[in-house]
Amino acid sequence: MELAGHKELAAATELQMYFADLRNPWQRGTNENTNRPLHQYFPKGTSMADLSQDDLDRIAHKLNTPPRTILEFDTPADRLAALLR
CA distance between the termini of the chain: 38
Range of the domain at 71: 6-84
Q: What letters, b where the CB count within 10 A reaches 16 and e where it falls short, cover 50-82? A: eeeeeeeeebeeebeeeeeeeeeeeebebeeee
Classify residue 1: in a domain, yes or no.
no
Classify residue 57: in a domain, yes or no.
yes
Note if the pTM is more than 0.85.
Answer: no
Classify residue 50: in a domain, yes or no.
yes
pLDDT value of residue 2: 67
How many domains are contained in the chain? 1
- Written as tens digits, the pLDDT of the chain (85 aa) is 667 888 888 899 888 888 888 888 778 777 777 788 888 888 888 888 999 999 999 998 888 788 999 899 998 888 999 999 8
